[in-house]
Every structure is written in structure tokens, then in C-alpha cells.
Chains A and B, each alone.
Chain A
Amino acid sequence: MSDASIDTPASAQAGDAGFGDFFALLKPRVMTLVVFTALAGLVAAPGAIHPVVGFAAILFIAVGGGASGALNMWWDADIDGIMKRTRRRPVPAGRIGPDEAFGFGMALAGFSVVMLGLASNLLAAGLLAFTIFFYVVIYSMWLKRSTPQNIVIGGAAGAFPPMIGWAAVTGGVAMESVLMFALIFMWTPPHFWALALFMKSDYDDAGVPMLTVTHGRRSTRAHVLVYTLLLAPVALGLGVTAIGGPVYMAVAVIVNAMFLKGAWTVWRRNEEIAEGDGYRAEKKLFGLSLYYLFAHFGAIMLEAALAPFGLGGW
């Protein structure tokens, strides 16, 4: 170790991170969504799974999601340090060294895939391995910095958890699990682009080719509306499958109507109006998008919970 490295604040702190710093490396907020959607896939799947095996499967899926978050933070530390939203993350803040984050992420990735394979089946483990690979290599390393479609294609990584939960029970892939994947996949672009519209300078400063930077804000507003229009039939289509039912359909109709109204409002506004009220409609749409998935997957779980009483499903 050189003298220079001893004197830098970052290296003085790296290696002495607290437990909370390592937990933050797993992106706990993203993990909540992973756990929730994977649980929905697991609960809605036909067939039975031992509760302990089900719990272990969800835990290992969450750990795998956390591992990809840690590897993403390792790779993106340079741009995370520039963006206001991310500069306090453990690696850019210097609390955890990049090598440490890489080792931690790789170890957890291997551990979660092997353990999921042992606890459930090889298909679920294979899907988890592919999800980590997709998020880290395809999205973080390749697409994020090279194309404005980064969010669209990269969104696939976040869409796999319900499919993995489903596969953990059934050992297979079905139309229902593919539609749950499609629901998250189609939801991701309007969710992120609504955020990009009001986190104005962040992506510019970091040089990330977000749609707002490459195609302008007018085009981003149009993209938000188009993807929201495409999302609605997917959400409603899921309602007529075996895992849907009246409760899910009612939730889907109401939430999609609200989401479409929000996207329509965002599309009709221009920058002058948005700046005038502090991006109120854009922030509202982003806030609604956070509840969107919880509402749909919550309804799927409710349908499954009502089924033993003869109330769930069609």
C-alpha cells in the first residue's frame, strides 16, 4: 500500500464499513419489489410447496437480486458519484472499496444460485443466474451507457422474479408467469422515464444516454404515454388467465385508468408548465407507478388466498 493511498479519506474508511453499508449495497428498496413479486409468482403458481422451502426460495431470490445490485454499484461507482440521487451509496461515498463490493456481489450471486437450485429446482436457479447476468452484464455494463433504450431492455432483469417464484413451485414456465414478466417489463419504461423527467440534470451530468438526454423531453413524454397504453392490455390480459379473477380485474381497471390519466396529463404538458409547478404531474405519475405493481401483484396474491374458500378466480 502506498503512502498516498493511506492518506485518502476513501481508503481510510473502506474496509471498515458497518453492516448497514453492506446491506445498502444490496439495494434494499429494489429488493422489496423483488421479494413481493417473487412471492406473488410463488403463491399464484398451481401446486404446493413446503412453507420452509417457499421461504428459502424467496430468500435466495432476494439475495440474488441483492447480489446484482452490489455488482451494479461496483460497476457504476463512477457515475453514481456524479448523480445527486446516488452519490451517497457506499462505494462512491468511499465506505466500501470497489474490490470489496465486487467480491461481495460475486460471492452472493454464486451462493444464491446454488442454494436456490438445492432448495427448489434447476430451472428456478437457471432463471436467477440469467437474471443476475442480464442485469449486470447486459444492462449495467453494456446497454446503460450505450443506448437510450437501456431502460426498456434492461427492465427485463427486474421482471424475472415472479417467473422464478413460479418456476420454484412448478419447475416450469407458463403463460401466466410470462404475463407477470410482461407486466413488470412494460411498466419499467414509464416508471423510469417519469423519474428522469424531474431528476433533470442527474443523467445529463453523468452522461447516461437517458431518453430525456438523447431524444428530448417532448419525445420522452410521448414515450411514457405510448408505453402506458401498451401496458394496460398486458395488465388486463393477466386478469383473464387462471391466476386472475374479479378482484384482480377490478384493481387492474382502476389502477390502469389512473395510470393512463397520469400519463395523458404528463404528455399534454410542456417544460414551461412543468417547471412552473415543480414537476407536480411527473412526480405524481412516478409515485403512482410505485403503487402500480404492488396493487397488481397484491391482487394476484389475494385471488390465490381466496381460492381455497371458493372465492378466488373466475
Chain B
Amino acid sequence: MALSRQHEIHKRRFSRNLGLGLVLAGFVGLIFGLTVAKVGTDGFNVQSESGVDN
């Protein structure tokens, strides 16, 4: 049986795909933010403690 364009399954699949897309985009943003935070704090501390930047 052919499904019409407006079938409810399409709506559900779209909501799932859209949701997953947004979650992945958010995850990318979070990893970027974590990287900036980690490099901004731990990275410089390690350098100054070891005296590399003196």
C-alpha cells in the first residue's frame, strides 16, 4: 500500500530526524565550548607550572 505524502509516519520520522539533528548540533557546540574551557584553563596552567612559557 502506497503511503500518501501526509501520512502520520512521515510526521513522526520528520520529528525524529529534526530532533536528532538538533541534538547533534547542540553536541558539536558543547564539545567546542568544552574544548575552549579546557584549553583556556588547564592548558595554560600546565605551561606555567612547567615553566615552558618563562
Q: Knowing A50-B41, A56-B30, A59-B30 touch, does A17 contact B36 (C-beta < 8 A)?
A: no
Q: Which of B16, B18, B34, B36 contacts A119 (CB 8 A)?
A: B34
Q: List residues of chain B with CB within 8 A of the CB of A55.
A: 30, 33
A53: Cβ under 8 A from any B Cβ? yes
Residues of A34-86 whose CB lies within 8 A of B:
50-53, 55-56, 59
Chain B residues within 8 Å of A22, by CB: 16, 19
Q: Given the complex, which residues of A lie within 8 Å of B20, measured CB to CB?
A: 19
On chain B, which size bracket covers the interface? 10 to 19
Interface of A is mostly: helix
**How many angstroms from the CA of A128 to the CA of B12 in the assembled complex?**
32
Chain B residue numbers with a CB within 8 Å of A59 are 30
**Inter-subunit contact B16/A50 (CB<8 Å):** no
The answer for the CA separation of A19 and B16 in the assembled complex, in Å, is 4
Which residues of A approach B to under 8 Å, CB–CB?
16-20, 22-23, 50-53, 55-56, 59, 119
Given contacts A50-B41, A119-B34, 20 further A-B contacts (CB under 8 A): A16-B12, A16-B13, A17-B12, A17-B16, A18-B11, A18-B12, A18-B15, A18-B16, A19-B15, A19-B16, A23-B19, A51-B37, A52-B30, A52-B33, A53-B34, A53-B37, A53-B38, A55-B33, A56-B30, A59-B30
Chain B at the A interface: SS class: helix
- Chain B positions within 8 Å of A16 at CB level: 9, 12-13
A-B pairs with beta carbons under 8 Å apart, 26 shown: A16-B9, A16-B12, A17-B12, A17-B16, A18-B11, A18-B15, A18-B16, A19-B16, A19-B18, A19-B19, A19-B20, A22-B16, A23-B19, A50-B37, A51-B37, A52-B30, A52-B33, A52-B34, A52-B37, A53-B37, A53-B38, A55-B30, A55-B33, A56-B34, A59-B30, A119-B34
B-side contacts of A19, CB under 8 Å:
15-16, 18-20
